[in-house]
Amino acid sequence: TDVKRLAAIPNFLRRKAKYQSLRNEEPDETAESSDMSSEHDGDVKTDSPHAVQLNIQPLEVTQLRVGSIETERKERWRKAMWIGLTFLTHSLWGIYPVLVRNLSVVHKVPTLSLMAAANLINVPVMLLATSGSTGGSIQYKELFSKTMLYLEAIIVLRSVSNILAPHFTLAIWCQLITLSTPFLVALFSSLILKETLPPFTIPSMVLSSIGGFLMLFYHFQESSQAESSWSSQDLLGMALAAFSSVCLALYMIMVKRTASKKTTSATTVLFAQLLALLVYSLVISVAIGEDWSVYLHMSGATWSVFLVFAVGVLLLGNVGQTFAIREVGAPVVSSVLPFRMVAALFAGYFLLGEQLKHWTQFLGAAVCLLSLTAYLTIQIFHKKR
């Protein structure tokens, strides 16, 4: 048995050492000793009738198996960590519209000035955080590379269309169209990056989208009864929402592509996002004459909400989203996108007094969470073949 073979290793080593010493004492028999050495390197037989023929290969196989199990375990923990970060990131971005509505509607803070003021904080913070680092330093030359300029343009277009869409149509239509983003990411990943979709991706997208639609169905029914007429403005708003979803999907693909090329660091990608949003929002805010004096009269509670929006969402949310896409891929990150609606509903309950009112909303939340839990569990334990 393997136990006996392992127990015989000390005797084998002693016999081999004795044999080597005898070999050194008889230099004339080197050829014969060489033959005996090659014969005894793999298997050794003792003079006892109960001698154990030792082969050290089982020990090597055992060590390889232990190593592969340990590597697999570490890989699962790594996947779980990044998927957990993905959930946290989508939770932060889920409360984004709630925070914006709270600040802009309740506290009357100009919308574009929110993004500009937030990035006036985030950009210096990033510069200070990366000034003393070497591996995570900002590659300033890459900010003006062709790939990064495309990425910055997509970010600005996504932000402009995302802000303008609710001004032309109901917010519910914008949210419904946003649910198409995971499908767009899967499509672009296959067409542009030639990636094979992770297992259970399409069923998860379908189920989570159905769950998101059920969560919005009650509000959709109420709004359709209140406003049944359609106008060209509604079509324009829906077109902007669809364009914003396409930009978001392209953004995820571009971030993943920069990771595959390994020419641009994640820190540089993140800094490019914040800098582009700062320049665009500051210029537009000043151009349209938004009133910045509101910030001089904000209360402590309002400043708390603003800091959660600025540091929590725009900084930490962007950090988590950028690194998660580079590590686990755009299809996995985008598949968790419907979870933003769950986070938005919970945040809306506390900040805006909004709550779930109908059984379809509870059913949709359950479908969304269960499908995402099943999908992410499969991703953690799935082995690449």
pLDDT of residue 267: 84
Q: Of 282, 269, 328, 319, which Cα lies nearest the Cα of 151?
A: 269
| CA angle (371, 374, 376) in 5-degree steps | 105
Is it the case that residue 129 has pLDDT exceeding 80?
A: yes
The three-class DSSP label of residue 112 is helix
- pLDDT tens digits for range 4-45: 554 555 555 556 555 565 555 544 444 444 444 444 444 444
**CA dihedral angle for residue 329, residue 331, residue 332, residue 338, rounded to 10 degrees:** 140
- Residues above pLDDT 70, as percent of the chain: 70
Angstrom distance (rounded) from CA 371 to CA 6 = 48
Structure tokens at 85: 């970060």
Q: Higher confidence at residue 296 or residue 361?
A: 296
pLDDT of residue 40: 46
The DSSP code for 136 is T
pLDDT of residue 146: 85
Cα–Cα distances in Å, from 143 out to 122, 255, 360? 17, 14, 46
pLDDT of residue 223: 58
pLDDT of residue 46: 47
Q: Of 173, 217, 212, which Cα lies nearest the Cα of 94?
A: 212
- Between 53-67, 94-108, 146-160, 261-275, the lowest mean confidence (pLDDT) is in 53-67
Please give the average per-residue pLDDT across 297-324, as a whole number. 89
For residue 15, the number of C-alpha atoms closer than 13 Å in the C-beta half-sphere is 16
Q: Of 135, 146, 158, which Cα lies nearest the Cα of 276?
A: 158
pLDDT of residue 44: 44
Mean residue pLDDT across the chain: 75
Distance of CA 330 to the CA centre of its chain: 7
Is it the case that residue 368 has pLDDT exceeding 60?
A: yes
Angstrom distance (rounded) from CA 188 to CA 103 = 35
Q: Of 319, 326, 198, which Cα lies nearest the Cα of 253?
A: 326
**DSSP H or E run through 296:** none
pLDDT of residue 133: 60
Cα–Cα distances in Å, from 385 out to 89, 327, 332, 382? 29, 19, 18, 9
pLDDT of residue 177: 76
Quickly tell me which residue has 């580079």 as its tokens.
326
Please give the average per-residue pLDDT across 335-355, as a whole number. 74
Please give the average per-residue pLDDT across 358-384, as a whole number. 73
Structure tokens at 217: 């169905």
Q: Higher confidence at residue 287 or residue 220?
A: 287
pLDDT of residue 120: 94
- pLDDT tens digits for range 73-104: 777 788 788 878 888 888 888 788 788 878 88
- Residues above pLDDT 90, as percent of the chain: 11
- pLDDT tens digits for range 162-203: 777 766 776 666 766 777 777 788 778 778 777 777 777 778
Structure tokens at 293: 């004096």
Quickly tell me which residue has 């709630």 as its tokens.
98
Give the max Cα distance, the chain. 107
Q: State the DSSP string of 179-197.
A: TTHHHHHHHHHHHTS-PPP
